[in-house]
Structure 1
Amino acid sequence: MSKPLRFIHPLHSLLPTEVEGFDSLAELALDLRWTWNHATDEVWRQLDPKLWNLTHNPWVVLQTVSRDQIERLMADAAFRKTVDKLVKIKRNAADSMTWFQQNHSQSHLSNVAYFSMEFMLSEALPIYSGGLGNVAGDQLKAASDLGVPVVGVGLLYQQGYFRQMIDKNGAQQALFPYNDPGQLPITPLRQANGEWLRLEISLPGYSVWLRAWQAQVGRVKLFLLDSNDAANFPAHRGITSELYGGGLELRLAQELLLGIGGWRLLAALGIQPEVCHLNEGHAAFAVLERARSFMQESGLPFEAALEITRAGNIFTTHTAVAAGFDRFDPILMQKYLGGYAEQELGITLPELLALGQQNPNDPSESFNMAYLAIRGSGAVNGVSRLHGEVSRHIFAPLFPRWPEEEVPVGHVTNGVHTPSWDSKLADDFWTGACGKDRWLGTVETLEQDMHGVDDAQLWQLRTEARKVLVKFARERLASQWAVTGEPQEECARARLLFDPDVLTLGFARRFATYKRPNLLLHDPERLLRLLTDPQRPVQLILA
């Protein structure tokens, strides 16, 4: 007699949640604090070293590894002690007094909403492209460390930005791997009754349902929206498919979902931000939705509501050329926002378009998202002193008869969240010299400790780091060639490239014109001498 059919439940229901200690592993895996806490790396490496090295995604490791492996390791006293210690450190960090509480104890600031088209938090959550997402992700992490009350708002892309692969001939191959939400370190946002939090947003002729997700970033939450809901038409499910993909109409739809949908998500969660920070102009529609929300509360007309709410909006521009801002044709704006302007904001389409135009009397002028962001924000900044000057020049036409140096655009120099970017080797070294909490204060306090480091120790750190880099470059190049079908002997040759004992210079940036990669060839003869000097060899790694 044949055995009865056995129905297989979804993957998440088969996780060994009853195994003692599994909840602790899940707690660690689903908090992106692990992206800047090197101590957890060894836990995932012990569970599945190969998968960890390939993905650097603890949630994938935890869902993939066998029940027997989890039980075996959790029964190991040393491993269990490590896990319990890491969970305790994580919880203590979440409950401890923060820099913000100590230095701004009288502040009434309870919530800053940080809107961005992309966030770079980890390769385990690939919803980013480059520098814009880099800054956004690092700001969330820094806010977590410092205790600044921030929530992030973004989009969850099914494919994200393309993955670059370089074949043996140096040609770029663009790949679009699918992001399975079940294998990303995120969780569905659910209402009190257990129902998945979903929003209905009106677009021309149809509504789009948006699913809400949450990523935990230490003390900070990042909320993400995606349109890949079964209730949507297939074409509309793909609105949040690719980051910066498709044409202008798709881009406009994405930015509507981010700005209007993002603000409505905060309202659905009962979050009332005092400050709305726009990371570039992509999210500028949030200023309209914020004003609309205030109109409902106060009964004021749109113009007054915008004037009041703009005081709590901040716009950070990263763009160095005027052509880099998103612009939309008035006809497209009529299609997507005509009804919203008249029915929700109580204004005409020309009045709405005027917020994004230099010359409102020109009906053919495109709607500029950066112009909307500036007119809807109480403060505007570039990302460096020089960029502030460039931005004042770019936006000067909006302020006729103003001296260019008085155009109201300041600057806040970009920084990085150092714990995310230092290696375990460097972290251990500087922890010994300056303490684990060295980045929670001003860098001036570190100078004395850093000057006390022995030169020989510092050189040894650089030597070891160079060896790690060369090893990684060899393995990465060999794997790239293997994927493109190169013979095994060629792949083996890639593992012999570079010398771990030679001065190694790295250039890891996108080859965009404004990043000035041509400076590498500014003095070709000198570059040739540097690269061919047998007494002082130099090697370059371009990523």
Structure 2
Amino acid sequence: MTTDCSSVAYFSMEIALDPALPTYSGGLGVLAGDMLRAAADLGVSMVGIALVQRKGYFDQHLDDLGNQSESPTAWEPEKVVEPMLPVVTVRIEGRDVRVRAWRFLIKGLGGHVVPVYLLDTALPENSPWEQKLTDSLYGGDAHYRLCQEMVLGLGGVAILPELGHSLISSYHMNEGHSALLTLGLLEERLEGRALSSATEEDIHAIRAKCVFTTHTPVPAGQDQFPHDLVSRVLGEERTAALEVTGACPAGSLNMTYLALFGSRYINGVAMQHGEVSRGMFPNYPIRAITNGVHAVTWMSPAFGDLFDRHIPEWRHDNLYLRYAIGIGTSEIREAHVQAKRRMVAELKQRTGVQLDEKVLTIGFARRAATYKRADLIFRNLDRLRWIATHCGPIQIVFGGKAHPSDVGGKDLIRRIFESAAALKDVIKVVYIENYDWRVAPLLYAGADLWLNTPQRPQEASGTSGMKAALNGVPSFSVMDGWWVEGCLEGITGWAIGHGPESPDDEVFEIAALYDKLEMIILPMFYGRPTAYAEVMRSAIAINGSFFNTQRMLSQYLANAYFRPAVA
């Protein structure tokens, strides 16, 4: 039992806690970890809830043609995190499934601690199948996923008071995976009475405690479960209660709709994403709080040392990064040279490819999903070859996993390998196998240009470009997600194509990508290095000082956690 009580409980299916722990798959989990690290730094009373994910997401294996295969990322919580004594039960398919927790402590710069509890069903009292419910992140079929989400939402609500966290004022759902916590809170309030007896006052009381952040700008990304499965897994009484919430359109339980119904404050993760979400869910008052990244975590040693010398307050107050604008461009360039050297050495060790430290290096690393269009730069190989031959050499570094069941994502990786082979005489292309937190910071800091080419408006926010900006790496991106707010053309980076108000035109975007590489970026990088360093410096001062989790968390504190939402 703990003795402290946290006022905000942050629920997320995945949380990136440490590079060695496979408790995350990508951006959503990294954001969650960065949020909780910022809470620890700022002394905010929070607690995190996730699943233990004993087999992690997966390890990625790529052959010479770019074919992806997967294997589990096994780890032993017993050797890393602290076991907690309380055990609670979650009623799944008419059986009591026992749930315990492991505790990981996030320690802030000033010594404040934020506990994170990883829920686990691997207990001998559970059946062999039930013991595996907390094994695989985003694994299994709909049945497995629904049971997992019951453990997260219902189990998390049940175990928090047993762990000593009994004064929770806000339950924050990071995406819809934990939406069943609203049902758990209602059952807790009713104290054994039938769910059908719940009144409007009861619903209002639950809603007053809940905050929901949606990350999904397309309907296909929402978790949905068929009615017969929901009835079998949750039981008829719970299913009937969910049906009156409006969360079961077209005969399926939609976890996004459940979270929307059960929350007093709802937000998208960028200003544009807020607009898109209001269009998708016009009956709900959706705000926006733009994502950020944890500056201390993602800052390279070279830039951290530079800022410690010039603006030592930056670690405790990221807004001080604004004053990076006064640092000389020669020092900016020298710090980047050090970061790039580290990246080149690591890539040589991992891949055997020796990159040239003096060549413009483009970075593109994120989940391999078709809408992210990692291969957009290869749509006209002849044009790209001409640019690299006549305007200045280019080398490109890719990284990212495709979900094991994502055929399109796996095809995307193969196409990148095919393009790399076709260009090998003029452009070095490296694809990093098993891209994760351990190698990501080297790319964010070591690339010279950060590329992002999503299909608009499917990039809810994106955070990789924010991490690059902290290290003086300008973005070259389609105007989507955070870049709509972060792009000052020619000052913090460059836009690909029109702004978000224009219709999508991939042909135009491809032409704009090549034109700016040829006519603006490469001539500046090779011909006016001081001007390029000024863009790097502005990326830090303008974007790094704003797109961080200190600012993001302060907005959640002011607008979501401790102030009632205004419809």
Question: Under a length normalisation based on structure 1, what TM-score does the superposition of the two structures give?
Answer: 0.68
Are 1:257 and 2:163 counterparts? Answer: no
Shift of 1:379: 0.9
Structure 2: how far apart are the matches of 1:296 and 1:351? Answer: 16
Confirm or deny: 8 A CA contact 1:387 1:411 kept in the other structure: yes
Are 1:447 and 2:322 counterparts? Answer: yes
Unaligned runs of 5+ in 1: 1-108, 190-195, 342-348, 400-406, 478-493
How does 1:56-455 map onto structure 2 within 5 Å? Answer: 111-184=7-80, 186-189=81-84, 196-218=85-107, 219-271=113-165, 272-296=167-191, 301-339=198-236, 341=238, 349-357=239-247, 359=249, 365-396=251-282, 399=283, 407-435=284-312, 437-441=313-317, 443=319, 445-448=320-323, 450-455=324-329
**Alpha-carbon distance change, 530 to 183 in structure 1, aligned in 2, over 3 angstroms:** farther
How does 1:6-85 map onto structure 2 within 5 Å? Answer: none
Shift of 1:377: 0.1
Structure 2: how far apart are the matches of 1:126 and 1:260? Answer: 23
Paired position in structure 2 for 1:475: 349
Are 1:513 and 2:513 counterparts? Answer: no
Structure 2: how far apart are the matches of 1:303 and 1:247? Answer: 35
Q: What whole-Å deviation, never above 9, does each CA across 1:158-214 have from its counterpart, x for those lacking one?
A: 101011122233221212131111233x1001xxxxxx2222222114221212110
SS at match of 1:119: coil
Structure 2: how far apart are the matches of 1:224 and 1:426? Answer: 33
Shift of 1:518: 4.6
Shift of 1:433: 1.5
Measured on the aligned residues, the alpha-carbon RMSD in Å equals 2.2
Paired position in structure 1 for 2:499: none
Confirm or deny: 8 A CA contact 1:152 1:222 kept in the other structure: yes
Structure 1: how far apart are the matches of 2:398 and 2:77? Answer: 32
Q: What whole-Å deviation, never above 9, does each CA across 1:278-318 have from its counterpart, x for those lacking one?
A: 00000001111112222239998354212112022110000
Structure 1: how far apart are the matches of 2:354 and 2:103? Answer: 42
Shift of 1:390: 1.4
The amino acid that maps onto 2:203 is L
- Larger relative contact order, structure 1 or 2 (CA cutoff 8 Å, min sep 6): 2
**Alpha-carbon distance change, 387 to 516 in structure 1, aligned in 2, over 3 angstroms:** farther
Shift of 1:422: 1.4
SS at match of 2:10: strand
Are 1:542 and 2:436 counterparts? Answer: no
Structure 2: how far apart are the matches of 1:161 and 1:394? Answer: 30
Structure 1: how far apart are the matches of 2:135 and 2:368? Answer: 25
Confirm or deny: 8 A CA contact 2:86 2:163 kept in the other structure: no
Paired position in structure 2 for 1:503: 360
Confirm or deny: 8 A CA contact 2:247 2:261 kept in the other structure: no
SS at match of 1:467: helix
Question: Under a length normalisation based on structure 2, what TM-score does the superposition of the two structures give?
Answer: 0.65
The structure with the larger Rg is 1
Structure 2: how far apart are the matches of 1:150 and 1:331? Answer: 37
Confirm or deny: 8 A CA contact 2:93 2:235 kept in the other structure: no
**Alpha-carbon distance change, 339 to 268 in structure 1, aligned in 2, over 3 angstroms:** farther
Shift of 1:129: 0.6
**Alpha-carbon distance change, 389 to 517 in structure 1, aligned in 2, over 3 angstroms:** farther
Structure 2: how far apart are the matches of 1:152 and 1:434? Answer: 31
Paired position in structure 1 for 2:504: none
Confirm or deny: 8 A CA contact 1:356 1:367 kept in the other structure: no
The amino acid that maps onto 1:542 is F
Shift of 1:442: 5.3
The amino acid that maps onto 2:316 is L
Structure 2: how far apart are the matches of 1:503 and 1:297? Answer: 64
Paired position in structure 2 for 1:527: 384
Unaligned runs of 5+ in 2: 108-112, 400-567
Structure 2: how far apart are the matches of 1:504 and 1:240? Answer: 40
Confirm or deny: 8 A CA contact 2:176 2:214 kept in the other structure: yes
Stretch deviating more after TM superposition (196-205 or 257-266): 196-205
Q: Percent identity?
A: 37
Q: What whole-Å deviation, never above 9, does each CA across 1:224-281 have from its counterpart, x for those lacking one?
A: 1111112211111111110000000000000000000000011212322100100000
Confirm or deny: 8 A CA contact 2:57 2:73 kept in the other structure: no
Paired position in structure 2 for 1:52: none
Shift of 1:333: 1.3
**Alpha-carbon distance change, 513 to 390 in structure 1, aligned in 2, over 3 angstroms:** farther
Structure 2: how far apart are the matches of 1:225 and 1:469? Answer: 36
Shift of 1:410: 1.1
SS at match of 1:209: strand
The amino acid that maps onto 1:116 is S
Structure 2: how far apart are the matches of 1:350 and 1:232? Answer: 27
SS at match of 1:128: coil
The amino acid that maps onto 1:283 is S
Are 1:464 and 2:338 counterparts? Answer: yes
SS at match of 2:208: helix
Structure 2: how far apart are the matches of 1:266 and 1:541? Answer: 43
Structure 1: how far apart are the matches of 2:177 and 2:263? Answer: 14
Structure 2: how far apart are the matches of 1:119 and 1:460? Answer: 34
Confirm or deny: 8 A CA contact 2:89 2:97 kept in the other structure: yes
Which structure has more helix as a fraction of its residues?
A: 1
Confirm or deny: 8 A CA contact 1:381 1:411 kept in the other structure: yes
Q: What whole-Å deviation, never above 9, does each CA across 1:380-400 have from its counterpart, x for those lacking one?
A: 11111111111112213xx2x
How many residue pairs align between the two structures?
387
Q: What whole-Å deviation, never above 9, does each CA across 1:498-520 have from its counterpart, x for those lacking one?
A: 11222211111112133343542
SS at match of 1:532: helix
